[in-house]
Amino acid sequence: MTSETTVPGGRFLLVSVSTADAPAATRVRVWRKLRSLGALYLQQSVCLLPDLDAVRRQVARLLASVRTDGGTARQITVDVTDPTEYAHLVAEFNAERDTEYGEVVERAPDLLAELEKETARGNATYAEVEESEADLERFDKWLAKIAARDYFHASGAAAAREAVERCRTALAAFEDTAIAAQAGEHLTTKPELPASARLRALD
């Protein structure tokens, strides 16, 4: 994580949102946005987020849209000065991120198994490479989204990155196999030259 995503001291944004008088779509949009930011819910409709410039701007825009839709919303900056309470909050944030990183680790073997299966079947083709590249790209995007809300450097990040890198290495090897298979196919299907042409080639 860069210094831009490091939480200053124990300062947080306390966010309270009520969408009771707003359209159902607003409720879903609020939930998705706060989840994407990595909000830690203290109770229903009340959550904490680190007081970072980028986070504050996104929250301000979200709350303005909630009010426009007829809901109520509030954002308060709070300082958590008690070291024990701050440590508990950090642990809760990290536990949620570790759960998300764990899902990456859990899902990555599926791609590895698929590559092994297609290799064993002799089905290392360009089409399979493209399909697996799309899967790997989804893993990269998924990991990037989790990392963007990993404000306190959760310990599960390393295992998730390693899992995705194993997929990347396996895909590179699978692509090499596909290239070799295609080259071998061209060699076996290349028409034999007439005898006269072979003699001219030797001259």
Query: Is the predicted pLDDT of residue 4 greater than 60, yes or no?
Result: no
Question: Mean pLDDT across the chain, nearest whole number?
Answer: 88
pLDDT digits (tens, 9 = 90+) for 122-171: 888 889 999 999 999 999 999 999 999 999 999 999 999 999 999 999 99
- Rounded mean pLDDT, 21-40: 95
Q: What are phi and psi of 70, to 5 degrees?
A: 100, 0
**Residue 135, both tokens:** 């899967």
What is the C-alpha to C-alpha distance for residues 157 and 155, in angstroms, rounded to an integer?
Answer: 6
What is the C-alpha to C-alpha distance for residues 34 and 13, in angstroms, rounded to an integer?
Answer: 12
- What is the end-to-end Cα distance of the chain in Å, rounded? 65
Give the pTM.
0.82
What is the C-alpha to C-alpha distance for residues 201 and 203, in angstroms, rounded to an integer?
Answer: 6
What is the C-alpha to C-alpha distance for residues 166 and 169, in angstroms, rounded to an integer?
Answer: 5
- The set of long-range contacts for 142-145, using a CB threshold of 8 Å and a minimum separation of 24, is 142/104, 143/104, 145/36
Query: What pLDDT does 175 receive?
Result: 92
- Per the CB < 8 A criterion, the answer to whether 48 and 152 are in contact is no
The packing angle between helices 24-37 and 53-68, to 10°, is: 170
- Per the CB < 8 A criterion, the answer to whether 143 and 161 are in contact is yes
Element (H, E) at 46: strand 46-50
pLDDT band at 183 (very low <50, low <70, confident <90, very high): confident
- Rounded mean pLDDT, 61-89: 95
Give the residues across from 49 on adjacent strands.
13
